[in-house]
Structure 1
């Protein structure tokens, strides 16, 4: 073969990492098919996401520097990247910016099991003292329920289901033509059932104004601050779900102990299953099959294929759609509310820092000279207009105009920020939370006593109790802010004039003119009230400050937590009565209540009530998860009769469109340990009908004259091989595979074509393959040089167009010009 006609694929990019970068293995490299992004675990325990051109897009940093990446997986649409860590935790990060969206853990202990009155941000970096399982791999699939596949064409196009707007009089909408028809069936679907579904899934929150971003004002607020820090990210979190989306978005999280967490819409936990063996290594699924297959090894390194069936038609039903939507909404709203409370606490503490420091310094000087305190001296000045030497020096040299501006800006900003948080963030979020919780409580009451929704209505009633308590305290704080802010503005105006008089000199002509011009405009009732009651102790303190040590109210179980004397007495009625008692107290007085002997002030404390609400939401989520877990059937497992030390190179699921929708075939590419010149193709058929059955046949043996380095599926009938001949020349080969479960001999396997060859002169030694992309832009990412370099090749475009690709015989013939490019 001539040199100028040797096979070569178009080179998209090549990337070489520095010597300090951790070598990238194929297991810790994830390719985003939708956006052509490459996620690689770096040696700094971070995940770096590159564009296909090799330029960095963003970096996912782990606050716990000791945690190492164990698994990477992109969502099918590229919107989310799942990252697993060796401390048992995993995080879901935005595919656009790398911000943390949500996190979880596969371990039973740790913070996730702790019940406490604590609103501290969860960074997901707390180390478990005991060793536990780690995340080994993820499975992500967007399923189309079989009942919907019967409606639409075979091309897989799925449109939205009927909404209430699609109904007029007695007519039904024909989805194929977009016209209304006068019958009770729409392509086999019951029109009445569709109308019932459309009514059940009505979302009244779409009529409410959108929630605004939460400005943190310098607060290091963790993942929730990233989620709600800008309006764009906030809108993405609370974006309304698509109108009756027919797809079921499932996420599988596999851990090294064989457990599988099943989540819907990324955050809604469906339940947990357990596969045979341990150390799940690979996952395969198909959008048109309800089955997920996972390959795992047991302690003897024997291979097992396990199949987990999802009840797609149930998960796509109207009840499950309502539960899933509102469950996710409640979780997001709770995070939004707790982040708002953290910001209120931060604004309150930082707003009073500078005034407190200025007054503390003056109080220490006055105490040394035995001249009282700042409040007494300011009160004396306001009543008599008589400047003492100490007060005059303090106003002129310490406070002066510059520090007065800082004082004024700090306190004004504090009141304005807290009021905005209450009005624009907390109250609208509480209203939305009430709507979502009431919706679920209505379904719980309607299905009470049945298995359709086995969650007690009282669980949601307790959430509403917490919501109403927070709303009462929020309204009370707004009234306090309006009153105290008026008082401070009067004090600030008076203080500025006193500084001007002090600078001009008391009794001087300029001071007298200032007094005649400004003093008549003072509101002494507000001024004296601020000096007497508010300046050193705001009424907001009891509602905002941390009143309880969270360690005093913590437990390992919910029953122990809610049995605590304080938690057991929390509720709307108690909060309402406590607010009435508090209104009769001064700011420096503590609430004393015989019926609530232990810290009764927590009944009107915003952080404590928010933590109580979070605990009740957690109980509801666990009850919903327990009910949904009953939908999952026990996975079916099958032993794969392969050598225990064989390397499984790739895994694929195929669904035959003409066969039963319950039937799927999982295929494995296995490289035996004794030889590198033979590839074994295993096919495991699984049918979810009835109790579920799995079967496997003898593997198809593919023999080669050259060493196989790696192999990956890149279609239902093809796989891509990375091979090396005796002259240390490397090439990519396209191998035609037999149809699933077909009795095909080796001589009927089809052609074996060389797609690309690598030049040995470049010093590049390919080692691993990653195949990705989409129709029209399929990409092969070749990792080489111990994982420190990649080359991205376009599988759909050849660099030099040739009539025929080289055959394997040409590749092995070193005398006919098949030396590398």
Structure 2
């Protein structure tokens, strides 16, 4: 049990753009700000350092964000139904998928471990031993800083079990439609409350969506309005069947997809490295051509470098234009040594990158794609298609064409290197012969270089393709037109995956229980606050008890003009039995009136959030008799609230038959227990929204102008 302490100001920030919402990273001092101008900025506290800006170019509103538990990834939901999963540190897109067509309004992200015996564990490489890809060279010639080595196998956590994480993102458009995705890569089921056969709901509105500690238990707060203008607040538990029956299959597919993503990114780096070396070769050669062109400008002669070299090869005597270039630049200026060193190093690097990095990565990528093809064929046989086998086969064809391209380019570069070495020797001998005695006839040592290879290099490098041989033209045409964009379908998974619930008569997401919590007439003073906050927290220190807090304004007496604010907290064991339906699990309910640490009742509550397994934080304000408003933040020990057991299956013919309605039916506001805060902190001004970092114990507040974020700590 943690000791509740008052909150103290930590840091604050004034933004240029109004903030629509904010969200804490679960594990780090990172705060994601969603601006009303439709982009997300991730800031590191306490310096407010900008880590990355996401969705900056989007013309569509950002409606929701959700963090992965490790704080490395952020899911962003847009008003057009797109969900993008981004790497926070790199500021790059990891994956994307299309959610509900009416737009994303709610999201939650949960990670669960998948275990299996060593004999049954997923083998990512067809049984091969662990393999590592070496680091790629950067443009500065150093190792890439992102990762010195890339592990492309699953490493088991212990000799007995092999854990892996399955990331599930739940998204909803707020109108009853819920869709699940495995980390934005794989659809994992969907449901629509308004289309259920039981016709339990008329006009459902999902206002909150969250997972408990058990990912097979998805919870939602649903507000439904009936034909007689009666609104009802429900607590609904869903079971994603695919996560229970096909979790290993989903984990296997997503594991291979993650490896494919890593390998494609690695291949992009390898191809970029090859292109950089080709650029160095081209720029170095162009530098020599430019130096020769300057000689031409001095003599005003119409010729070119390739023609002059060809004449030297055929005649054996340099022209009056080529001779000063050979003597003044290549020999006396030592440019030939620099040229030789640069081109030779780049050609050798191309061979190394292709042979030791790109080709092994292609081989591993083909193994992963082959495993995905096998999983797709298995899914078709067992009625659970996950992978589009035809799309995988096309991807395999693309990767094989990349392998042919790289191997051909490697061989071509090796041939060019051999030719260039002979060309360099030939130029060096030409310079020596010219400078030996300028007055005597030009004498060239015919054994100094292989003239046939020299001719091939001159022809391929300095002369138009009219001079090329048929074999040289065929080699160039074979490698033309291929680039990394051919791997885009693999990287973005377009067409690779099919609906996971296709071919199944059974729903992929089913309702396990539906508890009617509270009913109230729409538009009356008995209605809940406009922003009905439902906050869940799984407290594993308390035997997987799942607490849910929400506020209502209850009308105890129809003749009374005042509706009393009541905080309701439900407690239910959602983790002791994975398969037990929540409707069969005892539910405990506490209804209390909140007061400050001085016993003053809280009348204007703006929001509440669990801070840890002991504290509930409530943001409220007090208005004095002369109209001065004061913002406050109070902490309460919610496990000590007076809970009473209630059966979720209670039956009643009364239209106001919610559990809370029945619980409060025989009491008045004087009988509702009052709970004093452990501490009440007076704020500098009223605030309208709060977000809590449970791991760090900090609270972020957004003021009414939406341009100031204040962070407090205990």
- Structure 1 length-normalised TM: 0.63
Worse-superposed segment, 486-495 or 312-321? 312-321
Correspondent of 1:772 among 684, 693, 707: 693
Aligned counterpart, 1:76: 69
Give, in angstroms, the shift of residue 482 of structure 1.
0.9
1:710 corresponds to 2:642: no
Corresponding position of 2:649: none
Whether contact under 8 Å (2:95, 2:492) holds in the other structure is no
Q: 1:448 to 1:505 in 2, by over 3 A?
A: same
Distance 1:399 1:631 in 2: 77
> Which one of the candidate residues 533, 536, 546 is aligned to 1:650?
533
CA 1:315 to 1:237, structure 2 compared with 1: closer, same or farther past 3 Å?
Answer: farther
Is the counterpart of residue 163 in structure 1 residue 118 in structure 2?
yes
Within 1, Cα distance between the matches of 2:487 and 2:123?
30
- Name the SS for the 1:389 alignment partner: coil
Kindly indicate whether the alpha-carbon contact (under 8 Å) linking 1:214 and 1:230 is maintained by their aligned counterparts in 2. no
- Give the one of 316, 319, 329 matched to 1:388: 319
2:701–2:710: 8 Å Cα contact kept in structure 1? yes
Name the CA distance, whole Å, in 2 between partners of 1:675 and 1:216: 69
In structure 1, C-alpha distance between the alignment counterparts of 2:344 and 2:232, rounded to whole Å? 67
What corresponds to 2:110 in structure 1? 141
Query: Is it true that 1:104 corresponds to 2:96 in the alignment?
Result: yes
Q: 1:730 to 1:107 in 2, by over 3 A?
A: closer
SS in 2 for 1:650: coil
Counterparts in 2 of 1:749 and 1:11: CA distance versus 1, 3 Å: same
In structure 1, distance between residues paired with 2:540 and 2:79: 40
Alignment check: 8 A CA contact 1:12 1:53 kept: no
Rounded to whole Å, the distance in 2 between the matches of 1:47 and 1:617 is 24
CA separation of 1:143/1:675 partners in 2, compared to 1, >3 Å: closer, same or farther? farther
The 5 A counterparts of 1:343-358 are: 343-345=273-275, 347-349=277-279, 351-353=281-283, 355-356=285-286
Counterpart of 2:10? 13
1:378: Cα distance to partner?
0.2
Judged with a 3 Å threshold, the aligned counterparts in structure 2 of structure 1 residues 208 and 519 are, in CA distance, closer, same or farther, namely farther
Q: Which residue of 2 aligns with 1:53?
A: 46
- Structure with greater proportional helix content: 1
Deviation at 1:527, TM superposition (A): 1.2
2:210 equivalent to 1:292:
no
The aligned residue for residue 732 of structure 1 is 633
The yes-or-no answer on 1:620 pairing with 2:620 is: no
Contact 1:454–1:627 at 8 Å: present in 2 too?
A: no
Superposed displacement of residue 139, structure 1 = 0.7
Q: Pick one of 751, 757, 761 that aligns with 2:675.
A: 751
Q: Secondary structure at the match of 2:132?
A: coil
Query: Could you say if the C-alpha distance between residues 289 and 648 of structure 1 is closer, same or farther in structure 2, counting changes exceeding 3 Å?
Result: farther
Structure 2 Cα separation of the partners of residues 259 and 396 of structure 1: 79
Q: 1:64 aligns with which of 39, 51, 57?
A: 57
Residue equivalent to 2:705: 786
Task: State the match for 1:267 in structure 2.
Answer: 185
TM-score by length of 2: 0.71
Structure 2 unaligned runs (5+)? 195-202, 556-560, 595-600, 647-662
For residues 333 and 524 of structure 1, the distance between their equivalents in structure 2, rounded to whole angstroms, comes to 43
1:449 deviates by 3.3
Deviation at 1:628, TM superposition (A): 9.5
Residue 607, structure 1, aligned to residue 522, structure 2: no
2:650 aligns with none
Alignment of 1:178-189 (within 5 A): none
Assess if the C-alpha contact under 8 Å between 2:547 and 2:569 holds in 1: no
Q: Is 1:588 paired with 2:473? A: yes
Matching residue of 1:415: 347
Aligned residue for 1:528? 455
SS of alignment partner, residue 283 of structure 1: strand
Give CA-to-partner distance per residue, 1:180-203, whole Å, 9 cap, x none: xxxxxxxxxxxxxxxxx34x6575
Residues 717 and 739 in structure 1, CA contact (< 8 A), matched pair in contact too: no
Residue 235 (structure 1) aligns with: 150
Partner of 1:35: 28
Task: Give distance in 2, aligned partners of 1:23 and 1:609.
Answer: 38
Within a 5 Å distance, the mapping from 1:323-334 to structure 2 comes to 323-334=253-264
Shift of 1:678: 2.1
Q: CA deviation at 1:272?
A: 4.7
* Residues 264-299 of structure 1: CA deviation (Å, up to 9, x unaligned): 245344345445579865322211252323457899
Residue 485 in structure 1 maps to residue 428 in structure 2: no
- The structural deviation recorded for 1:485 is 1.2
Rounded Cα–Cα distance in structure 2 between residues aligned with 1:612 and 1:467? 11
- Identify the structure with the greater strand proportion: 2
Task: State the alpha-carbon separation in 2 of the partners of residues 296 and 497 from structure 1.
Answer: 86
CA distance in 1, matches of 2:112, 2:462: 61
Distance 1:218 1:253, change over 3 A: farther
Q: Indicate the larger mover: 395-404 or 721-730.
A: 395-404
Compared CA separation, residues 366 and 584, structure 1 to 2 (3 A): closer
Tell me the SS of whatever aligns to 1:647: coil
1:332-357 CA distance string (max 9 Å, x none): 33343355445544543564245357
Change (3 A) 1:473 1:625: farther
User: Against the structure 1 CA distance between its residues 508 and 231, is the aligned structure 2 distance closer, same or farther, given a 3 Å change threshold?
Assistant: farther
Instruction: State the distance in 1 between where 2:173 and 2:335 align.
Output: 57
Show CA shifts across 1:645-675 (max 9, x none). 84234223477999999x9886544579998
Report what 2:658 is aligned to.
none
Q: Give yes or no for contact 2:293–2:304 (8 Å, CA) kept in 1.
A: yes
In the alignment of these two chains, the number of paired residues is 643
Comparing both chains, which one has the higher relative contact order based on Cα–Cα distances under 8 Å and sequence gaps of 6 or more? 1
Partner of 1:337: 267
* Secondary structure of 2:697 counterpart: strand
Q: Displacement, 1:386? A: 1.8
Q: Would you say the 8 A contact 2:592–2:675 is kept in 1?
A: no
- Cα distance in 2 for partners of 1:405, 1:273 equals 70
Structure 2 Cα separation of the partners of residues 369 and 269 of structure 1: 69
